[in-house]
Amino acid sequence: MKATSEHELRYPEFDQGSRAQWTMGRLAHNAHAYAKAAAKAERQASRLRERQLYYARLAREDERLRDHSERGEAARKAHARHRLAEIAFWLNELDLLFLALLGLREAQLVRRSVWANRFLGRREHLRTGGRGRP
């Protein structure tokens, strides 16, 4: 009885490319995902800015409708001012998130280019026969 198994491994079926190629692909995928997240944060900030304009207009109005009571109008303005403060907070948070995502995406792209340069250098090295030999 043999101690080793006679199971044949077919590497070409599941092992595609090199580790450097896989890393470069993963970094490109990450950069794309961060770009999508940054675009989403930018869309959310845009919607919040629109709401900010709406509530600013509401807070500035003196008398929108004459049949509203003084207390009701004061409550509407207080609500508008409260929402303006909330929106300002969330816009600041979204701006920080957007900048962080852009920084992460840039870092991923830089790392990908570093890997690409390593890989390119290795291919040139292999093409020359190694150690500068023709």
Write out pLDDT tens, residues 57-113.
888 875 455 455 666 778 888 888 999 999 999 999 999 999 999 999 999 889 888
Token reading at 30? 């990450």
pLDDT bracket for residue 115 (50, 70, 90): confident
Taking residues 8-30, what's their average pLDDT?
Answer: 77
CA distances from 133 to 55, 115, 120, 123 (A): 73, 24, 18, 14
Contact 119/24 with Cβ under 8 angstroms? yes
Q: What is the pLDDT of residue 19?
A: 77
Q: Which residues contact 64 (CB under 8 A, 6 or more apart)?
A: 58, 73, 76
What pLDDT sits at residue 83? 92
Its pTM stands at 0.60
